[in-house]
């Protein structure tokens, strides 16, 4: 095995400094709670750093991204304040193989939406209601370690269907909400060579990221989204010389051998 998986946890870090109720739950920020939890869950398997909106380049310089294997994204109030250039830089790194774990309100982040191509919008209701997350793909590595068919969160913000996402490659969790909705709460996609996970729980006014089951899903998502596979070819390649003989004597317009 190579060295540890290099994890970067990104948090916009606004609610925790402007809303007393949120600060009480996450006094050092959501990223700090996630960092502690992932260190407990994954130990030596990971190297970890955090980044926030207010840092230069939102803490996501080219160098940081080049040395990130998996990026966790949490944002809610300030999606529009994330600079387009940084979003494009993150997107390129995902295409090259960096994993992306989008949490909760990150459904509406620029980076998630640009990778999906859809509106990524949904129903919601903030009524502190019960959520029951059903495992619908028991062989999926992201649900490793669960012994029951579901797990619960007692008080959550509801997200409901229709969730306007492209068809997921995998759906591993379907949520039931007390108030009457369902939601595809655990989904994956691949874009370029990068693996993307969306995991629904996480509203800032509830202590969701202190929950052991939620932490386990996030830890498993990180491991699953780490780069694997072969080389990435995301550029046009003019292969003038065929690999195998061609019999054609048809005229070809050489002027069209342009670069893509």
Tell me how far apart the alpha carbons of residues 200 and 202 are, in angstroms, rounded to a whole number: 7
Q: Tell me the closest approach of the beta carbon of residue 60 to its own copies, in angstroms.
A: 18
- For residue 228, give the DSSP letter: -
Query: Residue from 51, 115, 153, 219 that binds its own copies (CB under 8 A)?
Result: 115
Position among 8, 50, 175, 221 found at the interface with its own copies (CB under 8 A): 175
Tell me: does residue 78 bind its own copies (CB under 8 A).
no
- Shortest CB 104 distance to its own copies, Å: 13
Stretch that binds its own copies, among 5-13, 65-73, 171-179, 207-215 (CB under 8 A): 171-179
Number of residues that bind its own copies (CB under 8 A): 99
Which residue from 29, 75, 186, 194 is in contact with its own copies, where contact means CB under 8 A?
Answer: 194
Can you state the angle between helices 30-42 and 212-225, rounded to 10 degrees? 70
Least Cβ distance, residue 157 to its own copies (angstroms):
8
Of residues 66, 103, 60, 55, the one with CA closest to residue 208: 103
Q: On the CB side of 220, how many CA atoms lie within 13 Å of its CA?
A: 20
**CB closer to its own copies, 37 vs 133:** 133
Judged by phi (left if over 0) then psi (alpha if -120 to 50, else beta), residue 62 lies in: alpha
State yes or no: residue 179 binds its own copies (CB under 8 A).
yes
Query: Which has the closest alpha carbon to 137: 104, 109, 165, 172?
Result: 172
Could you tell me which stretch among 3-11, 33-41, 55-63, 187-195 binds its own copies (CB under 8 A)? Answer: 187-195
Choice between 10 and 159, CB closer to its own copies: 159
User: Taking CB under 8 A as the criterion, which residues in 221-240 touch its own copies?
Assistant: 227-240
Q: Which stretch binds its own copies (CB under 8 A): 35-43, 57-65, 66-74, 138-146?
A: 138-146
DSSP string, 148-195: SSEEEEEEEEEEESPP--PPPSEEEEEEEETTS-EEEEEEEEEETTEE
Min dist. Cβ of residue 56 to its own copies (A): 27
What are the tokens at 205? 């006014």
């Amino acid at each position: 095995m190579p060295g540890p998986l290099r994890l970067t946890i990104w948090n916009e870090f606004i609610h925790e400094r402007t809303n007393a109720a949120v600060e009480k739950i996450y006094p050092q920020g959501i990223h700090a709670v996630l960092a502690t939890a992932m260190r407990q869950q994954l130990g030596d398997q990971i190297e970890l750093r955090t980044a926030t909106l207010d840092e230069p380049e939102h803490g996501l310089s080219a160098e940081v991204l080049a040395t990130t294997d998996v990026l966790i994204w949490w944002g809610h109030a300030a999606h529009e304040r994330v600079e387009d250039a940084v979003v494009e830089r993150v997107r390129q790194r995902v295409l090259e193989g960096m994993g992306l774990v989008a949490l909760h309100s990150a459904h509406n982040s620029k980076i998630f939406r640009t990778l999906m191509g859809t509106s990524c919008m949904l129903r919601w209701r903030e009524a502190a209601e019960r959520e029951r997350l059903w495992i619908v793909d028991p062989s999926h590595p992201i649900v490793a370690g669960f012994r029951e068919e579901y797990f619960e969160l007692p008080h959550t913000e509801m997200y409901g269907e229709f969730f306007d996402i492209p068809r997921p490659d995998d759906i591993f969790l379907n949520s039931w909400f007390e108030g009457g909705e369902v939601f595809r709460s655990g989904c994956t996609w691949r874009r370029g060579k990068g693996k993307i996970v969306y995991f629904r729980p996480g509203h800032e006014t509830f202590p969701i990221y202190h929950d052991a089951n939620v932490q386990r899903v996030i830890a498993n998502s990180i491991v699953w989204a780490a780069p694997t596979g072969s080389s990435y070819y995301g550029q046009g390649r003019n292969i003038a010389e065929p690999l195998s003989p061609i019999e054609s004597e048809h005229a070809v317009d050489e002027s069209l051998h342009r670069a893509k």
